[in-house]
Structures are given as C-alpha cells and as structure tokens.
Structure 1
Amino acid sequence: MHLEKEPISYDLDDAEAPSYFDVGKWHVVAIVVLVALVGLVAAGVISVPEFGGPPSIDDAPGKEERAAGIDLVETETTLRERLNEHRSEDGLSGLAAGEEHDAIATYHNRHRAVAAHDDDVERPTPREDYAEFDHECSYAPAFQSFPISRLGIDGSIHAYDSEAELGDAVADTLVAAPGGDGAVMDDYEAIGVDIHVYPNDAVYVSLFLC
C-alpha cells in the first residue's frame, strides 16, 4: 500500500481573528473564577490536597491520639515492641516501623470508623485502601483489623490503666490465641500499627504487614 503525505492548508482570508474585546472578555472571566476559587480555599470550603503526600482521613469519629488518659500513639509503639519480642522468641527477625506503613494502617482503621458511623459510606476492604497508596511490599501485604474485644479481652479503653497494659494485652492475646497470630508471626519485614477508640469507647486495632 502506498501512502501519500497530504499537506494541510487553509485560506488565511477565511480565518476570522478574534477581536480585542473577545480576548479580553475571557481573561476577565478567568480572573473572576480564579479569585472565587482562592476565596473558597481560604474559607475552608474547598480543601487542596497535598500533591505527593499519602492520603489521609483527619475527621474520623472517635479518638486517635489520646483517650481516657492513655496515649494511643505510645500504645502503638508498645504493641509493636511486644509483638517483636514474641517474634524474637520464635527465632524471627523484628518487624521494622515505618511512617508509610503506619499511614496505611491508620488510613484503613479510620476509614472503617467513618463507615461504621455513616450509612452512606461503604465499609472499605483492605485491598481498596491499600490501592490508595503508591507502595510496594516484598511480600503480599496483609491487614489485621479488629476490635480488641474479638480477642476475648475487655474491649473498652476504660479497662486499662496504662499504655503498657493495653499494648501488652493486645499483643500477648493476639499471639496466644489459636490461629490468632496470623500474619504477625510470618516472614514479613515491616509493620504499621494504628489504634483508634470509637465514640462508644471500643478499642480498634489495625495492623499492616509488609
């Protein structure tokens, strides 16, 4: 088959140039729209995402930093350390901490909290929430997300007097439960941890293993 190049041409006499008024009119419209958007952002009506940053949920129902006098962030560290002690006893290497791993665990836990208190939000699957992040694991990633009452221990934050008591209770019970240790005792390299307390004082834990 022989293809010929066909030049594209047009008659300059047929081309209608826009007037200065037409060009200026659209410039004015664009400026008005831009000013309106800036005003909405400044007023907090529209939020601007941080480009390049991980997704996050900042308004989930409940407490994510402190509840009933217990520092939940410190409890997350205690839980991770206690799980690593159990792994060491079994001859396994410790699970490293990482900001992105924690961010994934936190996102999933808070997303579940939002869904639990909003009928218009479907309960998210771990796969869906993991897909929101640009992250790759050496192994197939695993989530363990649950109310701690499912471990057979008291599920209320008020049942614990310290970060160590809560963190140790979750880690020890999780590992000791028949088949309950799951991925936390597998050959993973890193772990993300999040603890969230629902408005009804129930403690929920999310673990992301990678």
Structure 2
Amino acid sequence: MLRDTPPLHTPGLDFALPLTIPGSPPPNNQLDDIFGSSPSSPAEGVPPTNASTEPSDIPRLRSIHVTAGYRDGIASAKAAAVQAGFDEGFALGAALGLRAGAVLGVLEGCVSGVSGGARNEHGGQDRMEACEEARALLGSAREQLGVGSVMGRDWFDDDGVWMFAVEGADVTFAEVADAHPLVKRWTSVVEALAKRWRVDLDVLGEEEADGEGATTADV
C-alpha cells in the first residue's frame, strides 16, 4: 500500500523528501504555531512596494514654498513695473493737464471779462449774449476736460497706451497731449473765440511742465 512506501531518498542529501499525494492537504508544519507561516512570494509581474516613498509632509512643504515664491515674484515684478508706469503716466498726465488747464483758464478769463462788461450800463445785448455763450462753453469744457474724460477708455487702453493717432515715430509727451482729440477740439474752440473777441493769447506765455519735452522712449 502507498502508506507503506518508504520515503524517497535523494542521493547526496542527508534528509528524505516526503511523498506528497496530489489532492491531499499540505503537510502540517508543527513549527507554524511558534514562528508563524512564511509569507507567500509576491505574484509574478507585480512590482514590489517602493520603500523610499516620500513622507506625507514633503508635498505640503513643497506647495507652501512654491506659493511663497510665486508671491515674492509678483511683488518684485510690481515694484519694477509700477515705478516705470508711474514715471510715464505722470509725465503724460502733466502734459495733458497743462493743455486742459490752459483751455479752462482762458474760458474762465473770458467769462469774467464779459460778465463785467455785461453788468456795465453800456454793455448792451451783445455783451449779455457773449456772457451766456462763454458760460456755456466753460461748463462744457469742465465736463469734457475732466480727468475721467481725458484719461478714459475711449482714448487709452488698459495698459495706458493712447489709442488716437499721433504723427511721428519718436514723439514727445507734449505732442501726444496736443494730439488728444478732446484737447485738440477745445484748443480750436478757444482760439476761434479769442480771435472773435480779439483776445491776445500770446500774452499768456507758454509754460513747460517738467519732463514735458522728454520723448516717450526716455521714460
């Protein structure tokens, strides 16, 4: 009988391999209760677990440092760009303000002069009409030559670059201010009014703002 078959002996080995009958339960290892059974070998084709996986804090710290670096970069870029933008915007704004102020000053002077003549007993109807015209022009000029209108989106884009035509390649801020449609319109109105009322605008002189003559490329 099979149970009486002696164990197989392998030449060169000092121990015998027990015969295992197919379908029979595996032999009972009496030492399993002490040391536990050995783990089964990993399945073929399954990569072993990476023992050098990053600790969970490293991705979080990396994210913190990336965010901090991004913010520092924005702050540094703003500091460099804001100063250059301020220098250019200040010079152009001063030139535009000078032109608008000259127009408003002439109109205010005309209103004051005509109003004084209208109150005179020798003023007449013509003086009264001239006074009303001057006041109407002054009111319209104050509205259209305000900062919100002159520097509005109709004339400048989001980057502060003018969208109206300026002749020349290397233009100055004074030339840009003179080419502004609102400034051109009201300058023409004042010149025509001064000519009609025989007002000498040359006596007012011409004042130059600091940096007004600088080219846009110098800022």
**Pair in the same fold by TM > 0.5:** no
More strand by share: 1
Specify the structure having the higher radius of gyration (Cα): 2
More helix by share: 2
Q: TM-score, normalised by structure 2?
A: 0.32
